[in-house]
Amino acid sequence: MTPGAPSADPLTLGRRVRHLRTQRGLTLDQLAADTGVSASQLSLVENGHREPRLGLLSALAQALGVPTASLLDPEPPTRRAALEIALERAQGSPAYARLGLPAVRPSRTLPTEALEALVGLHGELRRRDEAASATPEEARRANTELRRTMRAVHNHLPELEELAEQQLRAAGHGAGPLTHRTVARMAAELGLTILYVDDLPHSTRTVTDLENGRIYLPPASTPGGHGLRSLALQAMAHQLLKHSAPVDYADFLRQRMEINYYAAACLVPRTPALELLRAAKAAKDLAVEDFRDAFGITHETAAWRLTNLATRDLDIPLHFLRVTEDGALTKGYEDDGVGLPADAAGAVEGQHVCRRWAARAVFAQRDRTTEFHQYTDTPGGTFWCSAQTGRNASGSRFSITVGVPYVHAKWFRGRDTAVRARSTCPDDGCCKRPPGELADRWAGRSWPSATMHAHVLAPLPTGSFPGVDDAEVYAFLERHAR
């Protein structure tokens, strides 16, 4: 904006000037002469390509016989003007530029009907665009909604439990951990072959070639890990559950939850899982690590899988937390009233859990071979928690915690721990505020520069599947289909 220029929207201002000029029967040349500018300069103003300086603005107001302030009215002067402005805005957007279509000039010869239709189409296009590439806020809302839905059913989906056991039976799976061989047989039952490639598109985890019946997976990263079996099972789940390309972010999240659920239910089938868990409960010797070791899965998958079964089948309400070393919650579930930290919209991801909780206290533990156990008094009651730390592929640490209300601690190994903590969070005085003497010492005498979390701002790229780069994926499929 030019210094001293009024701050109004130039498109609306221009339309208002033109509206008043034609209403008064003045030509562009006449009004230009009255205000001491050239007709071409005035045309630039009317088309919103130039903001008039204050001097010109008052001259225009005077020549048109209106107060200067009324020229700055943010409301378009007529319905037609509003449509013209909307069309220009839409055609100027990056989303429209990507389509490579010509811009239609909203001249007077363009019928209002055509203008209405174009603006309506642009609006719908933008809506679909936004639905596919959800803003972080929409994504968080959808995620919160899904977590609430799942809490209502105690994170248990009977039809997926049944489907997993049925598919395992069909592939002849017996007892013990699910092998790669059995997973390949399950794929074959669906007419699919599993192939490992080292050039999978960056925006994908797996790609399924429906034409040639292939599931492309990345090369083995963690030998003996369940990652690849899980990815293959998730790819199959999309087909088994007859998913179609997600229509919006909520749909994408629901599908992702379902395929994860199915994969976990295959790796840890309900029947043998419940045999093991019920026996351990009867012996008052429940432990996430035993559950993990019996099925050859990660601690995180074992802990999460427990949330599918514990409340519904073992009558044990519980909570699950995945927390990074800085205390941020990356995944959380509870049906035991533990009170996860949440923002105003109810989203828990990215919120910091109390420093006193086991999920954070565990990072200070020297012995990382066994789980860390702690009782924590909170405003919502006393909870017993079991936490374990791990490292992700990039080397940063996280903790996995499973906790239960005090009365249910008796079923678990580690209930005899002497570690006790007290948390009054979300009260700021608990752990969020620095101690008074430190605040006195450092407030105003330090300047920390914050880490920027790129994913907080980046919207998902838009493809036929949210977040997926079509060009990359199709080039990949071509390369391999030959």
Among the candidate windows 96-104, 347-355, 372-380, 383-391, which touches Zn ion by CB under 5 A? Answer: 347-355
Cβ–Cβ under 8 Å, residues 362 and 370 = no
Cβ–Cβ under 8 Å, residues 332 and 148 = no
- Closer to Zn ion by CB, 11 or 431: give it: 431
Q: Residue 82, interface with Zn ion (CB under 5 A)?
A: no
- Give the x-and-dash track for 174-213 against Zn ion (CB under 5 A): ----------------------------------------
- Closer to Zn ion by CB, 250 or 340: give it: 340
Instruction: Tell me the Ramachandran region of residue 213: left when phi exceeds 0, alpha when psi lies from -120 to 50, beta otherwise.
Output: left
Q: Residue 421, interface with Zn ion (CB under 5 A)?
A: no
Which of 82, 256, 430, 472 touches Zn ion by CB under 5 A? 430
- Closer to Zn ion by CB, 167 or 324: give it: 324
Min separation Cβ 378 and Zn ion, Å:
9
Which of 85, 340, 354, 362 touches Zn ion by CB under 5 A? 354
Q: Residue 353, interface with Zn ion (CB under 5 A)?
A: no
Cα-flanking dihedrals φ and ψ of residue 263, to 5°?
-60, -45
Which of 423, 460, 463, 477 touches Zn ion by CB under 5 A? 423
Min separation Cβ 154 and Zn ion, Å:
27
Q: Quick one: CA torsion of 189, 190, 196, 201, rounded to 10 degrees?
A: -170
Residues contacting 323, CB < 8 A, separation 6+: 329, 330, 353, 359, 360, 398, 399, 401
Beta bridge partners, 319, equal: 334, 403
Q: Residue 389, interface with Zn ion (CB under 5 A)?
A: no
Q: Residue 359, interface with Zn ion (CB under 5 A)?
A: no
Q: Residue 125, interface with Zn ion (CB under 5 A)?
A: no
- Closer to Zn ion by CB, 286 or 354: give it: 354
Cβ–Cβ under 8 Å, residues 60 and 52 = yes
Min separation Cβ 334 and Zn ion, Å:
16
Q: Residue 409, interface with Zn ion (CB under 5 A)?
A: no
- Closer to Zn ion by CB, 74 or 429: give it: 429
Among the candidate windows 129-137, 219-227, 332-340, 425-433, which touches Zn ion by CB under 5 A? Answer: 425-433
Cβ–Cβ under 8 Å, residues 397 and 391 = yes
- Closer to Zn ion by CB, 133 or 423: give it: 423
Among the candidate windows 118-126, 203-211, 346-354, 457-465, which touches Zn ion by CB under 5 A? Answer: 346-354
Among the candidate windows 24-32, 79-87, 97-105, 430-438, which touches Zn ion by CB under 5 A? Answer: 430-438
Which of 32, 232, 431, 468 touches Zn ion by CB under 5 A? 431
Q: Which two tokens stand for residue 386?
A: 């079991």
Min separation Cβ 426 and Zn ion, Å:
8
Which of 425, 460, 473, 477 touches Zn ion by CB under 5 A? 425
The b/e string for 389-409 (b: 16+ C-beta within 10 A; e otherwise) is beeeeeeeebbbbbbbbeebb
- Closer to Zn ion by CB, 296 or 403: give it: 403
Count of positions on this chain that bind Zn ion (CB under 5 A): 5
Among the candidate windows 209-217, 283-291, 350-358, 465-473, which touches Zn ion by CB under 5 A? Answer: 350-358
| Burial class of residue 234 in the structure, from the number of CB atoms within 10 Å of its CB (0-12 exposed, 13-18 middle, 19+ buried) | buried
Min separation Cβ 387 and Zn ion, Å:
16
- Closer to Zn ion by CB, 28 or 430: give it: 430
Q: Residue 376, interface with Zn ion (CB under 5 A)?
A: no
Q: Residue 146, interface with Zn ion (CB under 5 A)?
A: no
- How far apart CA 449 and CA 443 sit, in angstroms, is 15
Min separation Cβ 386 and Zn ion, Å:
19
Catalog residues that contact Zn ion under the rule CB under 5 A. 354, 423, 425, 430-431
